[in-house]
């Protein structure tokens, strides 16, 4: 396995982990934020956005390398 494939898998795993942490932060802060504001916390939104971007980059990297092989 070459380094680029490992890097792509690492990005994918990190992206999924950030998505999970963001979803968890959204659920845990939901009851508190409903009292004061209409949506999830800013931290939860950034975790979800970063997770989506990293996960997409990792998926694209692993798929691109698989096609090139």
Mean pLDDT of 27-39: 61
Buried b (16+ CB within 10 A) or exposed e, 16-36: bebbebbeebbeebeeeeeee
Query: Which residue has better confidence, 17 or 44?
Result: 17
- pTM of the full predicted structure? 0.76
Please state which of the ranges 7-21, 31-45, 46-60 shows the lowest mean pLDDT: 31-45
pLDDT tens digit string along 1-13?
Answer: 688 889 999 999 9
pLDDT of the residue at 32: 57
User: Distance of alpha carbon 60 from its chain centroid, rounded?
Assistant: 14
Give the residue extent of every domain in the chain: 3-68
């Amino acid at each position: 396995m070459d380094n680029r494939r490992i890097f792509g898998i690492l990005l994918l795993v990190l992206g999924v982990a950030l998505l999970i942490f963001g979803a968890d932060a959204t659920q845990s802060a939901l009851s508190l934020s409903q009292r004061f504001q209409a949506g999830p916390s800013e931290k939860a939104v950034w975790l979800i956005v970063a997770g989506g971007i990293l996960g997409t980059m990792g998926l694209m990297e692993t798929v691109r390398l698989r096609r090139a092989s």
